[in-house]
Structure 1
Amino acid sequence: MTRVAILTDLHYNKSAPEQLTAELQKAVFRFEERIQPDRVVVLGDIVHEVDAAATDRENAVTIRSILDEISCPVRYLPGNHDAVHLSIADDWPELFGHEAWGIDTDASLVYLDSTAPHLDGGRGEIGERQLRALRDALEDLSDALVFVHHPVHECDVSNNRWFADRPEEAFCADGAAVRNALAMTDAVAATFNGHLHEFGYVCSGGISHFTVDAFNKQLTPNEAFGAYAIVDRKEDLRVRFVDGGGRENTWYRRL
C-alpha cells in the first residue's frame, strides 16, 4: 500500500507566520503519530511573494525546516506564487533537494510542474517537455497518482471566490493535452491538484481528479487553517479530505 499525505497552498509570508507555523507543526505531529504516511506531497504555493526573492527564499527555508521533522520523504511542487521571485529551474533544487518535476516509475508517482511565468496572471502550463516524458513513462506506470498545482481537468469555478471572474487562471492551459496523454492507457488512477482553495472531485475519462483545499485560510477568516488530504492506494483508492476543523469526507474507487 502507498499512503500519501497532501498539503497545498501554504502561502507562507510574514503577515501571519505564527498561526500558520503553529498549524503546520500540528499537522506534522498528526502525520507522525497517527497517519504515518509513506510520503508527503506539497502541491505548491508554498510561499506568497512579498517584494523580494530573498524574502521568498527565507520563507521557503522556514517551511522546509518544519516539514523536515516528518520522518518520511517530502516532495515539494511549485505553484504560481512560488515562481514570482524564485527560479524554479535553479532555486528549487537548492531549496528543496530535488527538481520541480519528475516521474517515479518504481512507485508510480508523477510530479508535474505547472508554473508558467511566461503566461499572464496565475495561469498554469505543463509544457511539451513534461508531456513527452509523461507519454514515454505511461507503459511503466500502474495505478499511478499524478500530483500538480493547477488542475489538469475541467471543473466549474463559477462560484469560486478566487477564479469566478478569471477562470482562465484556474487551470492548466494545456490541460486537454495532459488529459489526452493520460487517456492513452489505464495506467493512471487519479490526479491531485491545489490552486483552487477548495475541495473538489471530478471523474472524467475513467480518471479521478481530486482538488485539495488550501492549508492557509488567512484570507477566508470564517474557515479554519489546516486542511489536508490522505490517499491510500491498495486494492482500491481511498481519499480522505480533512478540513481545518477536522471534519472528514472520504471517496473510494476500486482499482
Structure 2
Amino acid sequence: MLIAQITDLHITAPGGRACGGIDTAEPVAAVIAQLNALEPRPDLVLVTGDLVDAGRMEEYEVVAELLDRIEMPVRILPGNHDNRDNLRAAFAPRGWVPADGGPFIQQVVEDLPLRIIMLDSVIPGHTDGELDDARLEWLRRRLAEAPDHPTMVAMHHPPFVSGMPGLDRYRCANGDRLAAIIEAYPNVLALVCGHLHRPVSIRWAGTLAFVAPSAARQIALRMGTDMPFAWTAEPPALALHLYRGAEGLVSLTRGVGEEFAPATARNS
C-alpha cells in the first residue's frame, strides 16, 4: 500500500504571489503531474494543510482546480493558513473532508490496510498549533476503537522540536500530552505532519514522526538561534509512505524538477 502526502501548497488567487514571491500554482501543478505519473500508483493522497495562503474562497477555487487533476482518492486536513469554513465549502462536496463534524475538520480513513487518523491542530489566527482537551480526547477515542490495527496519525503542526529554532516556536502545543496518548498505542506506525516546508524525521513517542517537504517552496535549513528566516531554491516535493504489512512503513521524499531552481553552473 502506498500513501502520497503533499503539504503547504499556499495557493493564491490568480496573479497572487506567496512563499517569498512566487506563483505557487506552477510548482504545485508540477508536483501533481509527478504524482499522477508515479509507479506504483498511490492508493491515497493526503493533503496536510496550508492549501491556500490567505484562506479566501477565490484561493480555494484555484486549489480545487489543481487538486481535481489528482487521479487517486484525496483526503484533506487544514493548516494555519486555511479557513475551515471555506475549506469545508470547497471540498466537502467532493468527499475530501467531512460535511459536518463540529468546529474541527477531522476524519478517519478506515478502508485501507493502514488506518489513517487525521487530526486538526489549527488555532484560527495563529501560526502555531494546539491540541486542546476536545481534540486529544477525540484522538484517544479513535485510537481505542482499533487498538490492534496498524495506524498512521496525520496533522499539520509538528508537536516536537525540529532543531530549527526559527520554526520550532510555531510548533503544536501540548506535544507532551499527545505523546502520552500515542505511546499507549504501539500500533501507531507513524505521525506525519507539514508546516515546516522541509523534510524532517525523528523517533518520537515510540513511533516515527515525519514532516513532509512543501509542494510549493522549501524553507532554508537554519539551525542557529539568531539566523533569519529565508527561502531556498530546493525544488518542490512530495512524500511517499510505503506500508508493507509486517515489514513496516517506509517514508521517502521526491523532489520535482530542477526547473524551479535558479540555473547554476555545472562541472563538465
Tell whether the structures are fold-level matches, with TM greater than 0.5.
yes
Residues 142-186 of structure 1 show CA distances to partners (whole Å, capped at 9, x for unaligned) of 22111111002333223xxx42xxx332x1111211111111121
* Secondary structure of residue in 2 paired with 1:110: strand
Residues 221-242 of structure 1 show CA distances to partners (whole Å, capped at 9, x for unaligned) of 6414421101111232111112
Corresponding residue number in structure 2 for 1:196: 196
What's the TM-score once normalised by structure 1's chain length? 0.80
8 Å contact from structure 1 (residues 153, 179) kept in 2: no
Matched, 1:228 2:226: no
Corresponding residue number in structure 2 for 1:47: 52
Change (3 A) 1:221 1:155: closer
Corresponding residue number in structure 1 for 2:37: 33
8 Å contact from structure 1 (residues 9, 43) kept in 2: yes
Q: CA deviation at 1:126?
A: 2.2
Q: 1:34, 1:211 → 2: CA distance?
A: 21
CA RMSD of aligned residues (A): 2.3
Change (3 A) 1:105 1:153: farther
Change (3 A) 1:44 1:229: same
Q: How does 1:10-29 map to 2 (within 5 A)?
A: 10-13=9-12, 14-15=16-17, 19-29=23-33
Corresponding residue number in structure 1 for 2:5: 6
Corresponding residue number in structure 2 for 1:95: 90
Unaligned runs of 5+ in 1: 247-255
Percent identity, please: 27
Q: 2:74, 2:188 → 1: CA distance?
A: 21
Q: How does 1:63-142 map to 2 (within 5 A)?
A: 63-82=63-82, 86=83, 88=84, 90-97=85-92, 98-99=97-98, 100-107=105-112, 108-117=115-124, 121-139=126-144, 140-141=146-147, 142=149
8 Å contact from structure 1 (residues 193, 211) kept in 2: yes
What amino acid does structure 1 have at the position aligned with 2:237? Answer: A
Change (3 A) 1:155 1:15: closer
8 Å contact from structure 2 (residues 10, 50) kept in 1: yes
Corresponding residue number in structure 1 for 2:223: none
Q: 1:195, 1:71 → 2: CA distance?
A: 25
Change (3 A) 1:148 1:115: same
Corresponding residue number in structure 1 for 2:253: 241
Q: 2:36, 2:234 → 1: CA distance?
A: 21
What amino acid does structure 2 have at the position aligned with 1:29? Answer: A
Q: 2:217, 2:22 → 1: CA distance?
A: 13
Q: CA deviation at 1:34?
A: 2.1
Q: Which has the larger radius of gyration?
A: 2
* Secondary structure of residue in 2 paired with 1:202: strand
* Secondary structure of residue in 2 paired with 1:4: strand
* Secondary structure of residue in 2 paired with 1:34: coil
Corresponding residue number in structure 2 for 1:250: none
* Secondary structure of residue in 2 paired with 1:146: strand
Corresponding residue number in structure 1 for 2:262: none
Q: 1:188, 1:76 → 2: CA distance?
A: 20
Q: 1:11, 1:29 → 2: CA distance?
A: 17
Q: 2:218, 2:207 → 1: CA distance?
A: 32
Q: CA deviation at 1:93?
A: 2.0
8 Å contact from structure 2 (residues 119, 139) kept in 1: no
Deviates more, 1:143-152 or 1:19-28: 19-28
Q: 2:74, 2:244 → 1: CA distance?
A: 21
Unaligned runs of 5+ in 2: 99-104, 220-229, 259-268
8 Å contact from structure 2 (residues 5, 47) kept in 1: yes
* Secondary structure of residue in 2 paired with 1:198: coil
Q: 1:218, 1:212 → 2: CA distance?
A: 10
Residues 34-87 of structure 1 show CA distances to partners (whole Å, capped at 9, x for unaligned) of 2411111111111112xxx6xx211112112111121221112111111xxx2x
Q: How does 1:175-190 map to 2 (within 5 A)?
A: 175-190=175-190
Change (3 A) 1:92 1:19: closer
